[in-house]
Structure 1
Amino acid sequence: MNARHHLLGAGFEAARSLPGVGEHGHSFRVQLRTAALPDTLPALQNTLQQAVAPFHYGNISQHLADASDLSLARHLLAACGQPGSLHLASAPDRGVLLGEDGREYVYFDTRFEAAHQLPHVPPGHKCGRLHGHGFGVRIVADARHASLNDILLQAWPPLFAQLNHRYLNDIPGLDNPTSEVMAAWLYQQLQPRLAGLAWVEVRETHTAGSQFDGHTYRIWKEQHFESAVPFDAAGNYTGHSYLIRLMLQGSVDRVMGWVLDFGDVKDRFKPIYRQLDHNPLDKLSGIRAADAGSVAEWVHGELKPLVPELSRIDLMETPEQGVSLTFRGDMQWPLL
């Protein structure tokens, strides 16, 4: 059975004082993932905005005795008064996640520059040529057992030295360095160094990546499309720049080293994308309505026969509001 969650976001600028750091400031972003009923969402979005308002261009330490990321995230989730998970990014490269199951995580985003090639792709495949990326890496750990400094100062630096400005295929275990293989390799390398390691993500580009939690492989591919939607009962239209994130879950092919080629995901989605992009969404054949949830369900119905590994679709109609539709399992991370 499909599970639908709504994604609501807010941002604020604030200062705070932390032990050993002193007073400083950040641009904070928060995203709530909730199964609240659609007709309650405007009020819930307003509640989220009201929750962050006291901190905007203010000092968090004047409102909370503990101004840490975890304390702030707990405060915001409680203020929303709605079950769900909450992702707080306190800077572009760090933050915390409060899971719906009560678990709390800390994460650090980092990157390295390296060359690689995939030796088993068909002749003519572009990834078979020697090329490179600025690889993005997200390291996530259980906040009960690890802190940001454990990741930033202890666990990651030795791996950065091993990977940065290297030819990855020469590193033992990375002779076929797909993003899935790299995520698993990083997880295996980090596990003895980082207590409470939860999962690792690897991003080859801004629109595609993989995730490994020690058991399950997940990948995602993102695209944008520009569409019109009905605005009112008078037949007027408005429009959005949508972000759609297709998430897949499955086993890794032993030869190819991937769940599915990112290029194949894009190609299979292409005929569906053409129907979405620069079109009125209420005119899609067979669509129930033009709201984000209905559009995500329509995409699922069209794409599932072409991509059996499809497990979740996130559709953002604005940077602050969207829907997450899960079909089996779940992506561990809301992915701001």
Structure 2
Amino acid sequence: MPIKTLHCAASGFESACEVSLLPAGHRSRRLHGHSFLATLRAELPAGWAAFEGGEVERLRADLESRTAQLDYRLLNDIVAQPTDENLARWIRSQLDAPGITQLGIQSTAHGGVDLDAAGQAHVWRRYLFQAAHRLPNVPLGHKCGRMHGHGFEVIVHANQDLGARDLSIDYDHLDDCWAPLHHELNYGCLNDLPGLQNPTSELMSSWIWERLKPTLPELSWITVYETASCGANFDGRHHRIWKEFTLDSALQLRHAPDGSPLRRIHGHTYTLRLHLAAPLDTLMGWTVDFGDVKTLFDPIFKALDHRPLHEIEGLADCDTATLAAWILKQARAVLPMVDRVDLYETRGCGAIVIADRAEAQAGLAIPI
């Protein structure tokens, strides 16, 4: 099975800034500060790192060396107008890593900008609402058939390069577009809303898309979190879902040089995310039942969780790229619709493996 592998790294920095091109009275015109997070994805050539399996460590070190120039600094001394987009472009221009497919800046827990491989900027914003719902078409006894509730999250992505504004799209504009929807959704019963009689995550994502697109032509992606560990994406054409797991596992890297701490037995709390694509079931309103994903993947999960990964038969090494590719192969044997696996050993640092057929629909990052 041909796969595409992306290595991922992240680095935080603390900085102050002011953005004078914003309208008079805007809060970000004043001197203020953020805890920024820079994220990086790259399709790296063989032999780029000092040893096979050392790609994440080198990528993280390269990114940290660039963000160190911004840490505890006034960003205006380096970037004239330090918007998230301009900071991302500056960091991107400083990096030497080959094959960069995405460079992101997250300035708050609820917003950021991602540059894609073509250099186009996608701004995103996270929104929260509290609501009840039930799924009316599930089999008798299915827990989602009962009325229940969630603290939902929605992430709105918009392609700034599709707009014609002098300032592109800022977070306030996204807030204005989202506000009427928040009024409808928050503290309500989703089944009572026209068009949401069957409020699955997939149908919610396309329902939101249809209502936002007329006022936000630059809309490129909707992400709906039903819970903290599962949700759906919609890009105007395709529905995709993901299911997230946490693994607490031990490992050692066989190819790490003598004396490297990575050669020793150590451990991580991994974040593992399975992505699945399947036709939308018009009756059920979903692509795949999240419960089925959890049940079918459970034997693979148990083979990894609270285990020494380096003792797994047939696993060539325990770097995140090799491990994610192994998980993808095992998962597809029981869930053929799995076409991508994200595996992070620490926040933002790890690997993504994508099945060849899924590359065109791989989508944007789900913010971490």
Q: TM-score range by the shorter chain?
A: over 0.9
Range 19-28 or range 64-73, more displaced: 19-28
Distance 1:332 1:150 in 2: 23
Quote the offset at 1:69 in angstroms: 0.7
1:176 alignment partner in structure 2: 198
Alpha-carbon RMSD across the aligned residues, in angstroms, is 1.6
Give CA-to-partner distance per residue, 1:172-205, whole Å, 9 cap, x none: 1100000000000000000101121111111011
Give TM-score scaled by structure 1 length: 0.96
1:1-336 to 2 correspondences below 5 Å = 1-19=2-20, 20=26, 21=28, 22-37=30-45, 39-40=48-49, 41=55, 42-82=57-97, 83-144=100-161, 145=163, 146-153=169-176, 155-230=177-252, 236-327=264-355, 328-329=358-359, 330-335=361-366, 336=368
Question: Which of the pair is proportionally richer in strand?
Answer: 1
**Unmatched 5+ stretches in structure 2:** 21-25, 50-54, 164-168
Change (3 A) 1:271 1:68: same
Contact 2:328 2:339 in 1 (8 A): no
Cα distance in 1, alignment partners of residues 316 and 148 from structure 2: 44
SS at match of 2:232: strand
Structure 2 counterpart of 1:149, one-letter code: D
Contact 1:218–1:331 at 8 Å: present in 2 too?
Answer: no
Rounded Cα–Cα distance in structure 2 between residues aligned with 1:87 and 1:271 = 35
Any idea what SS the aligned residue of 2:18 has?
strand
C-alpha distance in 1, partners of 2:345/2:250?
11
Structure 1 counterpart SS, 2:283: coil
Between 1:144-153 and 1:173-182, the stretch displaced more is 144-153
Range 270-279 or range 34-43, more displaced: 34-43
SS at match of 2:68: helix
Aligned counterparts of 1:331 and 1:168: Cα–Cα separation in 2 = 29
Question: 2: distance between equivalents of 1:59 and 1:267?
Answer: 50
Q: What is the DSSP-based 3-state SS (H/G/I as helix, E as strand, rest coil) of the residue aligned with 2:80?
A: coil
Distance in 1, matches of 2:173 and 2:250, equals 47
TM-superposed CA distance for 1:320, in Å, is 4.2
Instruction: After TM superposition, give the deviation of residue 301 of structure 1 in Å.
Output: 1.6
Deviations 1:220-277 (Å, cap 9, x if unpaired)?
1111111111256697411111111101112210011111111111111100011001
Q: Distance in 2 between matches of 1:55 and 1:229?
A: 34
Query: Among the aligned pairs, what percent are the same residue?
Result: 36
Q: Report the residue type matching 1:99 in the other structure.
A: D
Q: TM-score, normalised by structure 2?
A: 0.88
State the one-letter code of the partner of 2:104.
H
Gaps of 5+ in 1: none
In structure 2, what residue type is equivalent to 1:201? T
